[in-house]
Amino acid sequence: MGIVGYGRIGREISRLAEVFGMNVLGVSRSGRPPVDAEKFDTGRRSVAEDRAELFAMDRLDEVLRRSDFLVVVVPLTELTRGMIGAQQLDLLPPGAHVINIARGGIVDESALLERVRDGRIAGVALDVFDDEPLPPTSAWWSEPNALVTPHVAGLAPQYHAQTLDLVVENLTRLAENRPIVNEVDRAAGY
């Protein structure tokens, strides 16, 4: 499983994939675990226990070639907009599956639909789209190899408590002139 966006969510997806015996390839800006990953993870494993093979973004093509399942969880920025297009989808092994729980605009929906229909991509699970809510006329509604959900993948039992903890931590860090956690640097494009 290739996970593009190896922050807190990507690491939890990795943990779950490993339970099923999957080898995980994680892609992040740096190719290293996120700063303060342990403090804001679910507490189910430490960074040292993470068995994923990590890659920097400049090695995305290598990860795609090796991924039977591709999970996209990066933020939408100028650098990630259109990041998974026709060329990237064609690097996936035939019969791969694509899961997009990031944001619409990162995966080229037209290119993805074409590859699902021609059988190159075996199936997709899509929680986000360029146009939300997904119009009733969208081809995705009638695509038999697609699971469509209404942008709810981020909801979890402890979501609000975890978000509040993160806000409090970042306010403390700002007051102390320390780097914040989970920062998306839109000026830098990621």
132 is an active site residue: yes
97 is an active site residue: no
Alpha-carbon distance of 17 to 141, in angstroms, equals: 27
Nearest Cα residue to 181 out of 6, 5, 7, 54 = 7
45 is an active site residue: no
Q: Which of 132, 178, 183, 186 is catalytic?
A: 132
Nearest Cα residue to 20 out of 56, 92, 69, 93 = 69
- Kindly provide the b/e burial profile for residues 34-49, where b requires at least 16 CB atoms within 10 angstroms of the residue's own CB: bebbeebbeeebeeee
Q: Which of 45, 66, 120, 151 is catalytic?
A: 151
Catalytic positions are 103, 132, 151
